Amino acid sequence: MIFFLQESAASFVPAPGEVGAESAIVNAVLWLKLIVETTGAIVIGLGVAAAAYKFARALVPPQFERYNEIRLTLARFLALALEFQLGADILSTAIAPSWEQIGKLGAIAVIRTALNYFLTREMREERAGLTSSAPPFDTTTNVT
C-alpha cells in the first residue's frame, strides 16, 4: 500500500523549489486515500474477527444452523469495506488522472460494484430465509 502511495505520488512531485497549493492538495488527497484504504482494511479485519468469534461460539455445542448468520455477519463487513476501497480508488484518480488510471478505475469500479451487488443480494436472500422459518401462507385453500 505504501509502495502505491509512493508510486502515485512520484508523478505529482513538484519541481525543485516549487511549493504551492497544488502540491499541498495532492499530498492531502494522497493521505486521505491512505486513510480510506486503511479504514477499509480495518473493517475487513473486524468482520473476520467478528465472524470467527461467532463461528467459535457455534462450535461448542455444535450449532450448524447458525452458519448462515455467521456468513451474513462477514458479508455485511465485506460490503462496507468494498465501499471504502472504491472510495479510495476514486480518490487516487481525483488529481490529474491519466487515461490509464481512468481505465483502471473503471474496471475496478465495475468489479467492486458487481461484487457488492451480489453480496448485498445474497445477504437479503439469506436474511429472508432466516426470518421466515414458517412456510408461506397458502391463499389457495379457503378454511372457514
DSSP tag of 13? P
> Looking at residue 18, what is its pLDDT?
53
pLDDT reading at 125 higher than 50 = yes
Q: Count CB-CB contacts under 10 A for residue 22.
A: 13
The C-alpha cell that represents 61 in the structure block: 455445542
Q: Please tell me the pTM assigned to this model.
A: 0.68
Q: Give tens-digit pLDDT for 16-67.
A: 555 688 888 889 999 999 999 999 999 999 999 999 999 999 888 888 778 8
DSSP tag of 93? T
DSSP tag of 143? -
DSSP tag of 134? S
pLDDT (mean) for 126-144: 58
Instruction: Tell me the residue type at 84.
Output: F
Q: Give tens-digit pLDDT for 75-122.
A: 899 989 989 998 998 888 887 788 888 888 888 889 888 888 888 888
